[in-house]
């Protein structure tokens, strides 16, 4: 019998910096993958979609062939294949780990169900995903090299995918598993006086994006800036997001259980503090 969607899914993103060793090409962080699988198993949430980043699998090859710049040279075609293939290898490690823990994971290739236009998602086949969730599967997607209607091909980041999926699948919330505790006032890796921001609203995010006066207290760059920017459409939709440190044990577990956890909550409107 086919079960209807009894509740809203959680979209969980596992950062490339968490599941791979970013310094060494094609090197997975197997202990982290194993531990996160166990946390997902223990949390036992009804409906979950996983998205993971590329880390040291996708990025070096994509960069070598300049896939993110679109099609310019026939030599890039093989580069596209190689980038995609590297991502399927990382994806297989994650799906294998989930299946070995009796979690019914299914690999879903974004390059087969998404087309972008100038790098932004233009169309996505969400029906198979909805059906998978209805049937009790755990779809596992990833940042991928995808076909693009304007520039031939592009790199679709896991972060852009997360937001789109959350909207299309009417997600309850988004959990971003990063290699830092959340959004800080500055990059915590380079600025020792950076402070963790526990709550941020859409309005504050907009200021951040446009670098408007008043947002100067937050200096967000690199991967974290991209995450904030990509999360905005989902937040506008009223979907709550939380960024937690997926390197630290139990943070993802607590976020999945909706327990109080160290991290940054991003919500459309001002958060009303709940009494403990």
Residue listed under structure tokens 């959004």? 183
List the structure tokens of 12. Answer: 């969980």
- Residue 258 touching ligand ADP (CB under 6 A): no
- The single residue among 9, 58, 188, 263 that binds ligand ADP, judged by CB under 6 A, is 188
- Residue 124 touching ligand ADP (CB under 6 A): no
- Residue 184 touching ligand ADP (CB under 6 A): yes
Q: What share of the chain is helix, strand, coil (3-state, %, to 5)?
A: 40, 20, 40
Least distance (Å) between residue 209 CB and ligand ADP: 13
Per-residue contact track with ligand ADP, 209 to 238, x per CB under 6 A? ----------xxxxxx--------------
Q: Angle 222-236/158-168 helices, nearest 10 degrees? A: 10
Q: Taking CB under 6 A as the criterion, which residues in 39-58 touch ligand ADP?
A: 53
Integer CA distances (angstroms), 15 to 6, 32, 68, 90, in order: 28, 11, 19, 12
- Residue 131 touching ligand ADP (CB under 6 A): no
- The single residue among 179, 204, 230, 267 that binds ligand ADP, judged by CB under 6 A, is 179
Residue listed under structure tokens 């996505």? 124
Burial of 169 (0-12, 13-18, 19+ CB in 10 A): buried
Q: Which is nearer to ligand ADP, 109 or 215 (CB)?
A: 215
- Residue 18 touching ligand ADP (CB under 6 A): yes
Least distance (Å) between residue 195 CB and ligand ADP: 10
Q: Angle 55-64/75-100 helices, nearest 10 degrees? A: 170
Q: Which residues in this chain contact ligand ADP in the complex, by CB under 6 A?
A: 15-18, 53, 178-180, 183-184, 186-189, 219-224
């Amino acid at each position: 019998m086919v079960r209807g969607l009894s509740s809203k899914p959680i979209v969980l993103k596992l950062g490339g910096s968490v599941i791979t060793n970013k310094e060494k090409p094609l090197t997975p962080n197997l202990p982290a993958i194993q531990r996160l699988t166990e946390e997902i198993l223990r949390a036992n949430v009804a409906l979950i979609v996983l998205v993971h980043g590329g880390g040291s699998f996708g990025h070096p090859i994509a960069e070598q062939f300049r896939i993110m710049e679109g099609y310019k040279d026939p030599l890039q075609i093989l580069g596209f294949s190689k980038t995609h293939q590297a991502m399927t290898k990382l994806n297989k490690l994650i799906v294998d780990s989930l299946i070995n823990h009796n979690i019914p994971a299914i690999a879903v290739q974004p390059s087969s169900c998404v087309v972008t236009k100038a790098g932004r998602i233009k169309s996505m086949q969400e029906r198979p995903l909805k059906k998978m969730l209805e049937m009790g599967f755990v779809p596992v997607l990833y940042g991928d090299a995808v076909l693009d209607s304007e520039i031939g091909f592009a790199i679709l980041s896991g972060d852009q995918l997360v937001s789109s999926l959350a909207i299309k699948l009417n997600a309850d919330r988004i959990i971003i598993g990063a290699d830092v505790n959340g959004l800080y006032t500055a990059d915590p890796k380079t600025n020792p006086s950076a402070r963790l921001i526990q709550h941020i609203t859409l309005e504050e995010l907009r200021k951040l994006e446009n670098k408007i006066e008043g947002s100067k207290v937050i200096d967000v760059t690199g991967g974290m800036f991209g995450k904030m920017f990509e999360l905005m459409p989902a937040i506008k939709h009223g979907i709550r997001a939380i960024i937690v440190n997926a390197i630290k044990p139990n943070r993802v577990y607590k976020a999945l259980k909706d327990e109080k956890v160290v991290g940054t909550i991003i919500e459309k409107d001002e958060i009303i503090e709940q009494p403990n």
